[in-house]
Structure 1
């Protein structure tokens, strides 16, 4: 296998005039895209001094620039670090410094954010790219000499993406995905969704996540399909695009499914072009999936993580009604097993999902400690609980880790608990996820006041301002007399969650954000 930029070069040879990317009313053909990748690769190497193995960070909404950077980085063996623009400046600064990025490319809308990042830690040089004026495709038009695929030096084994996620400690860590991992993931995704060169894909989820980038977008470019790219999701523009552009496939998480169903245009929008909608990232509410199924649109669940590409376990069209609610079968190029301790689970027995395949991360950037905790004899330990039935169908049950998934975003309680620990008037605190019809889950802070403290829920919530991204903030604060602990003094989170559910259900003292 060669570097993945050869996907685009091959399509440019066979079908140079076929549309590759549609964005903001403009279209890049595969021929256009191949040329732009060569220019961006030349600009990175010759103008910005990026070499094999160097990291380049991207901060911006969805735009062709991110995909051009991905394939240009692949060509020269560099590594792209997509930044989650929803994070607070200190969180973004950590990703840049931890990855050792030598360049940050950002859109004009994030210039102030970059300045705030620089106030937190020393930042590398930055380059402004404006999608409104053509972005990197235009600004690198005079780059010479163009770096051709044959002279680029990128290899299948090269790291290509460092995507930041967090573990149970809440410390962000960068999952490393190689070029081989992206190609293996693409093969799984093509098999899952039967993607062909004649398809049109609608991408509305953010590509700083592997869900938005790799469930359909890069697999579509692997096959030579057409990708319609939105800078961000809104229900109105997504429904209008389905009506007018007639896409074959799109990916939606529970929060976006819910927003579309609730929109006034939902019932009157013609969805008949959609062959399927892919969804995942959390335990998807059945009522959301059934709303699409009632409109004649199959819903395919996909299971995975940042570390798995993410496409690892999935459903396909035609899976039986009896499998509704399952997460599917192990992917074409991925092995999956359920482990109970050190043994394989029996069919129907709940245990931890472990995965192995070419799509799996090679490890975490500069975190051998995390690698040791995450891998068992070459198998990736997901920390998620499921069972597999006699037919090899996997059924998700719960999360072994404490991660909260809200609207498709990972929220890690330890991060919130550290902020709570700095708020005066609080004695102790724990953060748990509670069921939320719209977001899947929402974080709730369960706190104990210091003796005589009069701190309010509003004050607690304000304590998160400027420290964490807004979507991570607790949606509610519940005051209790004490947190339940076991004999070893460890907080019993299942009991804390029950306390939160009881109080919120009874509409006791709480504050919704």
Structure 2
């Protein structure tokens, strides 16, 4: 059975209940089921797509994206949600790499296809023009003939390209089964029921925006309010007026909400819990939400894990402050050393993940698949330790660890101290070759205090961290280099540090 049947079943039980709300419309479960069915017929009939073909979507969060996702499941297709922040050549690379047959595109992004891609047909998701039909046009023309083939739980559904900070993006392949089991994990994480109302403001081209709460709440018959994109004022207003019970935020959006002048005056009491998904969430942000009596729970995962793998629940928000949680209900976790041996409690190890929500591999990339997916386990590249009670605490990325004089130094630990320094707004710590120690940590920071000096920054570490962990140099820059996803480009930071001279020895 394809996951589009979730919507059909809820349409039978609660046909008039609102499934999806946008600024333009409210769609009941019966209405959503009808749109999914007609879209699936349009994909197979009007567009001639067959089981296993790929379609792509380029646009902001919309009801059309959800319809296409469930319709792709019904027809046995894969959908590739494109990051609208990427440049046209980056979109072209992904479309060619996945060999997409059809691109559904919002009018605002039609200029992103500057050069035609052989074999790719373009359909307007929210508009039509000369020579370009709209999704609505195709759905209206779709007949009533039954689909020749229908998708099932083993079929690939989401082909999500990881952004990365170096190299070409890789397409993680998530089956319908992965989306199903991710939903079960997410429901356990949130104590989610049909009574829940999710406010989705994070982009659904990420598994975080799509799968931490959005698809899970549709699985259990709740309501989703979609914002096309995040805006702190609109988010706060929606919380006060629409009264959602759940939302997902990331550190950047949490900070924007806290800094907004309406933060203190907004009634946030409808929210049962706020989930945040990031490897290392600044504690000051969580404390600011807790001060408004909003429990913040952390979820850990990645594109390759759909993403819900490790998480806290509401009762853990304050008692396990700072932990990324425990292994999910349908997830197995190992922490291993460089020889793939399980590490004891308290010792850092790489996080390995196994479960039916994990990707089957990377699209058309056997080499990267063999590296990251071994013996049934996904190698996350992240380091954590487990305490005696089974709770996981994030340390850093494997590739970021600095080995200095035989000691492991975790940049994330240094960055946590830097974030607490008044006037520092962005931080990055990288390793640099050092003649005496082999490597040494170097801090690069951006500040909004013109009086900030490297000496002021260095003083923050006194009595906080062991001397060998202190940055050997501090560089103050206007801004840190970031990629289209907003992630700091650490390779560029390392290049910058290399250009600025050798570390002190």
Structure 2: 5+ residue stretches without partners: 402-414, 447-452, 459-473, 481-505
Corresponding residue of 2:316: 319
Does residue 293 of the first structure (1) align with residue 290 of the second (2)? yes
Corresponding residue of 1:129: 125
Q: Secondary structure at the match of 1:171?
A: coil
Q: Secondary structure at the match of 1:184?
A: helix
Q: Secondary structure at the match of 1:7?
A: helix
Structure 1 residues 155 and 26: alpha-carbon distance in aligned structure 2, compared to 1, 3 A threshold:
same
Structure 1 residues 82 and 441: alpha-carbon distance in aligned structure 2, compared to 1, 3 A threshold:
farther
Does residue 280 of the first structure (1) align with residue 277 of the second (2)? yes
Corresponding residue of 1:497: 442
Whole-angstrom CA distance in 1 between matches of 2:425 and 2:177: 32
Whole-angstrom CA distance in 2 between matches of 1:440 and 1:178: 39
Corresponding residue of 2:479: 512
Corresponding residue of 1:223: 220
Contact 1:38 1:147 in 2 (8 A): no
Whole-angstrom CA distance in 1 between matches of 2:344 and 2:366: 32
Contact 1:254 1:439 in 2 (8 A): no
Corresponding residue of 1:335: 332
Whole-angstrom CA distance in 1 between matches of 2:424 and 2:322: 18
Structure 1 residues 246 and 168: alpha-carbon distance in aligned structure 2, compared to 1, 3 A threshold:
closer
Contact 2:212 2:308 in 1 (8 A): yes
Q: Secondary structure at the match of 2:141?
A: coil
Structure 1 residues 510 and 390: alpha-carbon distance in aligned structure 2, compared to 1, 3 A threshold:
closer
Whole-angstrom CA distance in 2 between matches of 1:388 and 1:445: 25
Structure 1 residues 386 and 444: alpha-carbon distance in aligned structure 2, compared to 1, 3 A threshold:
closer
Cα shift at 1:180: 0.1
Deviates more, 1:217-226 or 1:371-380: 371-380
Does residue 69 of the first structure (1) align with residue 68 of the second (2)? yes
Match of 1:197 among 172, 194, 197: 194
Q: Which runs of structure 2 are paired with 1:62-211 in the superposition (5 Å)?
A: 62-115=61-114, 118=115, 122=118, 124-130=120-126, 138-146=136-144, 152-166=149-163, 169-211=166-208
Contact 2:352 2:377 in 1 (8 A): yes
Residue deviations 1:208-247, cap 9 Å, x none? 0000000000001100101000000000000000000000
Whole-angstrom CA distance in 1 between matches of 2:278 and 2:291: 22
Contact 1:434 1:444 in 2 (8 A): no
Whole-angstrom CA distance in 2 between matches of 1:111 and 1:436: 40
Contact 1:285 1:440 in 2 (8 A): no
Match of 1:382 among 380, 383, 398: 380
Q: Secondary structure at the match of 1:24?
A: coil
Q: Secondary structure at the match of 1:267?
A: coil
Cα shift at 1:24: 1.2
Residue deviations 1:264-317, cap 9 Å, x none? 000000000000000012300111011111111110100000000100000001
Corresponding residue of 2:433: 484
Corresponding residue of 1:429: none
Deviates more, 1:335-344 or 1:250-259: 335-344
Residue deviations 1:410-436, cap 9 Å, x none? xxxxxxxxxxxxxxxxxxxxxx99966
Contact 1:43 1:143 in 2 (8 A): yes
Deviates more, 1:201-210 or 1:496-505: 496-505
Structure 1 residues 344 and 218: alpha-carbon distance in aligned structure 2, compared to 1, 3 A threshold:
same
Corresponding residue of 1:306: 303
Match of 2:344 among 332, 340, 346: 346
Structure 1 residues 484 and 184: alpha-carbon distance in aligned structure 2, compared to 1, 3 A threshold:
same
Corresponding residue of 2:7: 8
Residue deviations 1:323-342, cap 9 Å, x none? 10000010000111111122
Cα shift at 1:4: 0.4
Structure 1: 5+ residue stretches without partners: 404-431, 447-482
Corresponding residue of 1:372: 370
After superposition, the CA RMSD in angstroms is: 3.0
Cα shift at 1:485: 6.2
Whole-angstrom CA distance in 1 between matches of 2:424 and 2:59: 23
Contact 1:313 1:331 in 2 (8 A): yes
Structure 1 residues 35 and 320: alpha-carbon distance in aligned structure 2, compared to 1, 3 A threshold:
closer
Contact 2:55 2:103 in 1 (8 A): yes
Whole-angstrom CA distance in 1 between matches of 2:194 and 2:243: 15
Contact 1:198 1:225 in 2 (8 A): yes
Structure 1 residues 109 and 378: alpha-carbon distance in aligned structure 2, compared to 1, 3 A threshold:
same
Q: Secondary structure at the match of 2:359?
A: coil
Whole-angstrom CA distance in 2 between matches of 1:368 and 1:241: 45
Contact 1:434 1:443 in 2 (8 A): no
Corresponding residue of 1:39: 38
Residue deviations 1:448-484, cap 9 Å, x none? xxxxxxxxxxxxxxxxxxxxxxxxxxxxxxxxxxx63
Whole-angstrom CA distance in 2 between matches of 1:85 and 1:94: 14
Contact 1:40 1:136 in 2 (8 A): no
Contact 1:41 1:147 in 2 (8 A): no
Contact 1:168 1:402 in 2 (8 A): no
Structure 1 residues 267 and 96: alpha-carbon distance in aligned structure 2, compared to 1, 3 A threshold:
same
Whole-angstrom CA distance in 2 between matches of 1:147 and 1:110: 33
Corresponding residue of 1:269: 266
Q: Which runs of structure 2 are paired with 1:311-460 in the superposition (5 Å)?
A: 311-319=308-316, 321-340=318-337, 341-402=339-400
Contact 1:75 1:154 in 2 (8 A): yes
